[in-house]
Amino acid sequence: MKRITFDTADQAAAAAAAMVREAINGGITTLGLATGGTMLPLYAHLRADGGPDMRALRCFNLDEYVGLPPDHPASYQHYMNEALFRHLNHPPREAHLPDGGAPDAQAEALRYRALVQSAGGIDLQLLGLGRNGHIAFNEPGSGRDTRTRVVTLAEETRAANARFFDRIEDVPQQAITMGVSTIMKARRCLLLVTGAAKADALAQLTDGPIEAAFPASFLREHKDVTLIADAEAAARLEAA
């Protein structure tokens, strides 16, 4: 895993956005997008001046809450529209997320799995890190062979994400997420981790055991991951 550390979270986000731009300009055709607070400054940098020309791209988000239709203000579809898509002069030709409002979530997960497969997988996958070691919504216990599916969210994840909702009771219990194996098949991953609250998790990712109890640890077995972190998140890393 390549590691690049910056003094501030904004510098880290700017560098990550520059890397995404470079990949887009270099001709990737599928881009995996992530959500969460960490990605907001990345998207702010990426959309500057109308953003890169994304017309050749098919975008696939990692996950979506079950029970939130696309127009719900806390849905990841809404997040993506507001953080990125609506600001782009040349938006992607396709931008997909699982449909959180689908009447049958299991069927929707299978549809989304097939869609990503039919696109030939992901050229560049953006990733954030959950404090409990989740990537996308692959919570602790998610094995290396997990595929796109419906998952039950950990209580700590619901609590961490409650800030995007009016009340914690409003945070859905379930989500549709790409699996660990889907993420591991991405040709390249860009992991952005910022803030002191992630320092323990990042140290465990890089130096702890590789195991389902901490799904992000599997990224150490991926052949092309770039970790971009700020000084706060990297505070407990052993020297690279």
- Residue 34 CB, shortest distance to ligand GLP, in Å, is 5
Q: State which of residues 12, 13, 23, 38 lies at the interface with ligand GLP (CB under 6 A).
A: 38
Point out the catalytic residue in the list 99, 108, 134, 232.
134
Query: Is position 232 an interface residue for ligand GLP (rule: CB under 6 A)?
Result: no
Is-catalytic flag, 63?
Answer: yes
How is the beta sheet containing 188-193 ordered, strand by strand? 2-6, 225-230, 188-193, 124-127, 30-33, 58-61, 94-96
Query: Is position 24 an interface residue for ligand GLP (rule: CB under 6 A)?
Result: no
Residue type, 97: L
Is-catalytic flag, 132?
Answer: yes
Of 57 and 233, CB closest to ligand GLP: 233
Task: Evaluate whether 185 touches 120 at the Cβ level (below 8 Å).
Answer: no
Question: Residue 115 CA to chain centroid, in angstroms?
Answer: 18
Task: Evaluate whether 122 touches 58 at the Cβ level (below 8 Å).
Answer: no
Point out the catalytic residue in the list 64, 123, 139, 232.
139
Is-catalytic flag, 134?
Answer: yes
For 16, the enclosing helix (H) or strand (E) is helix 9-25
Report the site for ligand GLP in 58-77 (rule: CB under 6 A).
Answer: 62-63
Of 28 and 136, CB closest to ligand GLP: 136
Between CA 89 and CA 52, with CA 192 as vertex, the angle to 5 degrees is 15
- Residue 239 CB, shortest distance to ligand GLP, in Å, is 25
Of 209, 197, 189, give the one whose Cα is nearest residue 233: 197
The footprint of ligand GLP (CB under 6 A) covers 34-38, 62-63, 128-130, 136-137, 157, 161
List, by residue number, the catalytic residues. Answer: 63, 132, 134, 139
